[in-house]
Amino acid sequence: MLVGQQQRLQDDIREIVAQLGRDRSALIPVLQELQKRHATVSDFAMQVVADELGLHPAEVYGVTSFYAFLRQPAQGRFVFRLCRTLSCEFEGKSRVARQLENDLGIGFGQATPDGRFGLEWASCLGLCDQGPALLVNERVYTRVTPERVHEIIDECRRTFGAHARQAGHSQVEGGLS
């Protein structure tokens, strides 16, 4: 990678970190945003992310390698990833999972026919004391209830609606705001 390209990537990562935060919990959202902008997370990018978040590069590399969705193009414009690890299981993850399946009309590992929503399982998101934890694109939701699922999906649908009214603007960028 050329020096100029490295500098641009570094600036981009700093901008993402400034938006999403420097906490340990920001690691996955930062990597997702990076993947979205650059289609891949390079070794150099992992090093910069580690420096910016004050983490060991091995930890960033481990997370990127562990989560398949950080290495693959996302399915659906809003991808819901619900943690299915033990602490979230105890906090009612199954009820949230059923609600997501009912409201979206798809099962885990599937996307809606219009490509707007995807539903996937995630392993522990590092928010075990605030479960059930749900990631929607780069946004994290904690202590999610079935009732909250309605609201989150409504928020996504409203985002699509707002963009649909803009003629010729069909691309929805990022998560919810």
Compute the 3-state secondary structure of the chain and give helix, strand, coil in percent, each to the nearest 5.
55, 10, 35
125 makes contact with ligand FES (CB under 6 A):
yes
User: Binders of ligand FES: how many residues, by CB under 6 A?
Assistant: 12
Q: Which of 85, 110, 112, 145 binds ligand FES (CB under 6 A)?
A: 85
Q: Please, are residues 56 and 50 in contact by the beta-carbon 8 Å criterion? A: yes
CA distance 49 to 84: 26
27 binds ligand FES per the rule CB under 6 A: no
Q: Which of 13, 133, 134, 136 binds ligand FES (CB under 6 A)?
A: 133
Distance, C-alpha 166 to centroid of its chain: 25
Q: Select 48 or 125, whichever has its Cβ closest to ligand FES.
A: 125
Give the integer Cα–Cα distance in Å for 23 and 26. Answer: 5
Q: Please, are residues 149 and 159 in contact by the beta-carbon 8 Å criterion?
A: no
> Could you say whether residue 87 binds ligand FES (CB under 6 A)?
yes
Whole-number minimum distance, CB 128 to ligand FES, in Å?
3
Q: Decide if residue 127 touches ligand FES (CB under 6 A).
A: yes
Residue 3 tokens, joined: 């020096």
Residues lying near ligand FES in the complex (CB under 6 A): 83, 85-88, 124-128, 131, 133
